[in-house]
Structure 1
Amino acid sequence: MTTMTTTENRPPLNRRLAEFGTTIFAEMSALAARTGSINLGQGFPDTDGPEEVREAAVRALRDGRGNQYPPGPGVPELRTAVADHQAHHYDLRFDPDTEVLVTTGATEAIAASLLALLEPGDEVIALEPYYDSYAACIAMAGGRRIPVTLRPRDGAYRLDLDELRDAVTDRTRLILLNTPHNPTGTVLTRDELAAIAALAVERDLLVITDEVYEHLVFEGEHVPIATFPGMRERTVTIGSAGKTYAFTGWKVGWVTAAPELVTAVRSAKQFLTYVSAGPFQYAIAEALRLPDSYYDGLRATLRAGRDLLTAGLADAGFTVYRPAGTYFVTTDIRGLGESDGFAFCRALPERCGVVAIPNAVFYDHREEGAPFVRFAFCKRPEVLQEAVSRLRRL
């Protein structure tokens, strides 16, 4: 008689990750490749960043810097450059030796922070819709995600501060922020951030803040929540080179925080990748020292792309929520007689040769995001113009 083992009765994927399959970005990028469509779904530029930064990486490779394991916290040159960047742009002072940690992109920084700071059952408040890795990382850490939904109002997405306050319970451990916000393009105002900071101090909450789009702000200003009273010691700030310097494949990110928080995050990070991107770390150290004119030019280029695409989408019949930051624009497809973003995005390549992302993947409350679709405008003007021409066929 054969006895069934427990492994034969169990699915291979653990329950924490059972709701997560292949990401929508992989699905839609594969669809773009298969149909030869213009990919306005996944958020990566179609041109490389500054030539001097690329050459810095080549120089590091040739000089043998970083070709073997770099230091666990990151190479000193990059940690110092990150600290100098925070001081120059925001007057935030961090010790590069104890308060800066280099990570494999922002995604690892988010994962390591949540794994380090959560106990099973802890609640995490996140602004819905949210980047899909947030939900997966909270699940891997054994946390419970509590969405507070940004809703469209007066042509933009807005945060209800009363709803945020009501979401806090005795089980809440931290707030996971993202500003500028992907996918909606919302940039939280100074007053909104002050209210969130006051709530965090009042309820003794930690804050993890994803600020990878910090230099991609077209209206308003980016204000790090760590600058508010009582927040520096309770905030883990996450940054990344990918979006700012258009080298998304290098996967260089960082954490800045008080020493005890950085130590906690490093404890988790060292068992994920340990180290990565050695030569690229030296290159990004140089990128962070580019003059302010670089960031002005970046914003001007992306603003022009935003304006081109949003005007074209509106002409094609979409309701457009004009983003104040990031390089994404959210649209409502109900004006086109559609209501199911998944079906719309899966059919769009065959209909007009363009790929987009259904916003419902960024929601726990899928019905809230059902009619919304996200497009990326971090592409060359001629690519955006061709996409606009194709979308007018709808």
Structure 2
Amino acid sequence: MAGSSFGTLFKLSTWGESHGKAVGVVIDGCPAGIPLTTEDIQQDLDKRKPGQSAFATPRKEADQVDILSGVFEGKTTGTPLSLLVYNQNQRSKDYTKIADYYRPGHADLTYDLKYGFRDYRGGGRSSGRETIGRVAAGAVAKKILKALGISITTYTKSIGKIHIDLDRFNKEQIWQNPLCMPDSHAVEAAATYVKSLMKAGNSCGGIIESYVEHLPAGLGEPVFDRLDAELAKAIMSIGSVKGFEIGNGFEASSLTGLENNDFYGYKQGLIVKESNHAGGIYGGISDGSKLVLRAAIKPTPSIHATQKTINQSGEEINISIQGRHDPIIVPRAVIVVESMVAVTIVDMLLRNMGSQISHIKKIYTKQ
């Protein structure tokens, strides 16, 4: 299977299956000298692990990370960084019933058509547990960004048709509630909505928003390796993401040029924008302002309500999916989106170092 690696200079390769022995990631191109402990990685893994609320799968996994290589005396060595998490609470027998049919909304059929067979135990590589490697890599990337003064804030913007109110935005609340919403009023309404769907054996989706502050201008390679294109690939590679936008995104299609353009001005001798409709990227290159992006997450396809499908014998059947599943994926996907933003930005920062001779001279000549 190709396609399990992402990045050019800061490159990660995830591996493992949902019901295999373990899952993990190998990071190549991580700079040496970064202070790194398992605790640095664990705090992010804890944000995505299952079994933490009524809105997540009841599967219990500690998701304890182990650093196998690339760290010595508490710092990265510059060699490949290998991170591993053992699966400890598989219940593969829960999935024997689905071995003969294709679950609506899942990759069962496409995997069968591509490879001629599939790992039906939790979806194998298409399972959400694959994102453990992404989150572990993202924790490392955020250590690099922190050293450069770059910060990322990610949260649930909406669940179903319930949106947060920016006038009530409270960043401190994001990780203080099970839905990762920075608006207590929206949390209450969304929780009631999700619980009603759970009673009906149904599920829902939502939108995750992420913004990056203190990002330098100049990131992104024109034409095919634009910053927005790389971010789109990173976010769209996450399972259950069905839409992506930067800045005004799809809304821009209904605006006029006067409404959508960002006007420039000077403030204390510096170039400033009066707005940020572009989301911090022009021509595929960061302009130094806040980078804003969103990911649309589909409803969880594994639901108890009756659905129509087919089996491998060519029969049309009705099914009700049992087992342990998230009624909503959005909250656990927040840290996954943030992680993919982080690894993309680190990769683009490293790639940008050779864009000007002055950058190279700062590294290789005496100042």
Q: Same fold (TM over 0.5)?
A: no
TM-score between both structures, scaled by the size of structure 2: 0.26
TM-score between both structures, scaled by the size of structure 1: 0.24
Greater fraction of residues in helix: 1
